[in-house]
Amino acid sequence: MIQRFKGPFRIDSITQFLSCPRAFYFNEVKFLPPERINLNWLAARAGHTVISQAHREQNFSADNMFERFLDLFEKQKARVKTETFGAVDFEEYRSMLKGYANMPYNREAVVLALDSEFYFDIRPARTTYFFEGRIEQLLRIETDLLRAEFSDVFESVTKSSIILHRCLKFGQRRHTSSFELAMNVRLDILSLALKNGIFNHPPGSIDHVSRNTPYHWDIIPDFHAVYFLRDHIPYKDDGGRYLRDDNGDFIPCDLVSSPCLVGKKQDPCKGKRIYCTKKSRGPAMFFTARPQARIHAIPRELMPLCAAIRMGHYPRQLGELCLNYCGYRSACESEIRQRA
């Protein structure tokens, strides 16, 4: 007999339900521990913690951040009691943390919130649904710092500074089109939290420890952003076609002060290329917004999802093999075989 979900809705559990309702059932209803844990998941957790520490201490030394990351990762790995899988490329994490530390809009941001816990409820119809989670980063950033890197987004912004809510991602880039970002359920819930949620400290008091006074922030950020740190990893291939001007001359490179040594012969680079080892992979941050009218509509949009979870609809993805990295694959397979 299928049991019912009775707890508050959390962002990670909702995204798990959208990915595989059955995995949600094993995790959030049956409370089964995952059978395996991906080491890259542990590495991402360590990376998030290190970045929060850098903001709190205003210490963006890339070497210091990477040393802390290694230490924290090993401690987390030692505490894991289940099987682990996957391989962590530490040089990639070094590049991601270094890239984050090198960005002026990160180093000079005024932090309003880091890992701040919230709760709120919605009642789009007769049923009340409770949510809880945390805001990862809420920042005030000078517009000129962002305009220098993202001119297409901020060229028409007249405010001297903007409030930015941001989610960090250490995994592969996905869901970056404007439409996908507008439909992002995680950002929907977080925008509701910033507007209607209850927090245990006022914005700007990132080290506040009192949990006795609830605070209603009532904030609508100017932008929400998803930040894919893998875009800070430089290309490993140092090839690429050289760019030339109208006269056929090589266009000088504006990324480094002196030519790099490239290719098997390690000859000096002739000029600017389409891609090179000194260039990052992409823009890293992708922006969207949730205006007041959109926030007002979100509870009604969440209602069918919350109702399906409450009613115990936890189907498998029929016709598709389980993902190899699913932490509940054995439980799912055992359940199927027992009914065969």
Q: Give the whole-angstrom CA distance, residue 20 versus residue 276.
A: 39
Residue 319: what pLDDT? 55
3-class secondary-structure state, position 82: coil
Q: Which residues of the chain have pLDDT under 70?
A: 1-2, 206-212, 238, 317-325, 339-340
pLDDT confidence of residue 117: 93
DSSP state of 273: B
The amino acid sitting at 109 is: A
DSSP 152: H
Domain over 9-232+282-310 is classified CATH 3.90.320: yes
Task: Please report the pLDDT score of residue 200 as a whole number.
Answer: 87
pLDDT of residue 274: 79
User: Which tokens in the block code for residue 66?
Assistant: 């990477």
Any residues with CB less than 8 A from the CB of 110 and at least 6 apart, and which?
139, 140, 141
Domain residue spans of the chain: 9-232+282-310, 239-278
pLDDT, tens digit (0-9, with 9 covering 90-100), for 87-131: 999 999 999 999 999 999 999 999 999 999 999 999 988 899 999
Helix/strand/coil for 286 = strand
**Tell me: the pLDDT tens digits for 58-80?**
999 999 999 999 999 999 999 99
